[in-house]
Amino acid sequence: MGEQVVLLGTRYSGFAMRARVALSEKGVDYEFKEENLGNKSPLLLQTNPIHKKIPVLIHNGNPVCESLIIVEYIDEVWKDKSPPLLPSDPYQRAHARLWADLVEKKVSASAMKVWTGKEGERQPAVEEFIDNLKLFERELGEKPYFGGESFGFVDVALIPFYSWFEAYEILGNFKIEEHCPTLLAWGKRCMEKESVAKSLPNPKEVYDFVLVLRKRFGFD
Ligand code: GS8
């Protein structure tokens, strides 16, 4: 009997994109179930009763929650399918986990302030966001990927933001390329990978979606 792999997510969620990229990297076939977060499915509530959030990976009936935990799970379960996302050396693994955690604590948190901020009041959030991206610009240095020569855990954690860059730039009135050219080149390089290109939505669609969200939550 074949494996059953289901991913509960939404098209524009960067957290769900991480799981999609990881599954595609490993060449795992999966069923994507689009959730309506305004009316969550019984399956989502049952598989993630604590947070009630997407993404949830359901592997042969077993739910796994939290995007970075899902990516690690995928890396462990389908370990023979492609080069590992996490390095085997314990110190390198710790380093990758630290930087993936920094994506959450620095990039994710400040990006949210940029797209939710009121018109005319976004400048401090933009500056914080750029400072945080610069941490990643420096960490990347001359390497093609955060994982070194090959695409890895930190790349998976950060790449979804690339599809949101245009929305942040328009709303925040700035250009990422002017501040972080190396990081932008990294994003373009990642997009050349099929696993990434097929898992990320078009930036224009993301921008339209952000405008819808801003209206829905009354940010305008
Ligand atoms: C965050 C998931 C999340 O915020 C992870 O998986 O890494 N730490 C988690 N999911 C959002 C949608 S994406 O913005 C979500 O499901 N929200 C529904 C809700 O809060 O009710």
pLDDT along the chain (220 residues), means of 10: 92 98 97 97 98 98 98 96 92 98 96 93 96 98 96 98 98 97 98 98 98 92
Q: Are residue 71 and residue 38 in the same domain, yes or no?
A: yes
Structural domain boundaries, residue 115: 90-216
Structural domain count of the chain: 2
Please report the pLDDT score of residue 1 as a whole number: 56
| Chain centroid, CA 214 distance in Å | 20
- Ligand 1 within 6 A of CB of 54: yes
Task: Specify if 207 maps to a domain.
Answer: yes
Q: Are residue 102 and residue 211 in the same domain, yes or no?
A: yes
Q: Are residue 190 and residue 105 in the same domain, yes or no?
A: yes
Cα–Cα distance, 115 to 124 (Å, whole number):
12
The Å distance, Cα 53 to ligand 1 centre, comes to 5
List the Cα angle 68/19/112 in 5-degree steps. Answer: 65
Domain final residue, candidates 46, 77, 108? 77
Beta strand 5-9 pairing with 56-59: antiparallel
The runs of H, that is alpha helices, within 66-152 are 67-77, 90-102, 109-116, 123-140
Task: Specify if 18 maps to a domain.
Answer: yes
Please report the pLDDT score of residue 162 as a whole number: 98
The candidate with the shortest Cα–Cα distance to 216, out of 71, 59, 36, is 36
- Ligand 1 within 6 A of CB of 67: yes
Task: Specify if 83 maps to a domain.
Answer: no
- Ligand 1 within 6 A of CB of 105: no
- Ligand 1 within 6 A of CB of 53: yes
- Ligand 1 within 6 A of CB of 48: no
Query: Which residues fall within 8 angstroms of residue 8, CB to CB, at 6 or more apart?
Result: 33, 35, 41, 43, 44, 47, 48, 54, 55, 56, 58
Phi-psi region of 27 (alpha: psi -120 to 50; beta: other; left: phi over 0): left
Place of tokens 């797209």: 115
Tokens of residue 81, six digits: 């399918």
Domain final residue, candidates 18, 49, 77? 77
| Whole-model pTM over 0.75 | yes
Ligand 1 atom closest to 70 (CA)? 6
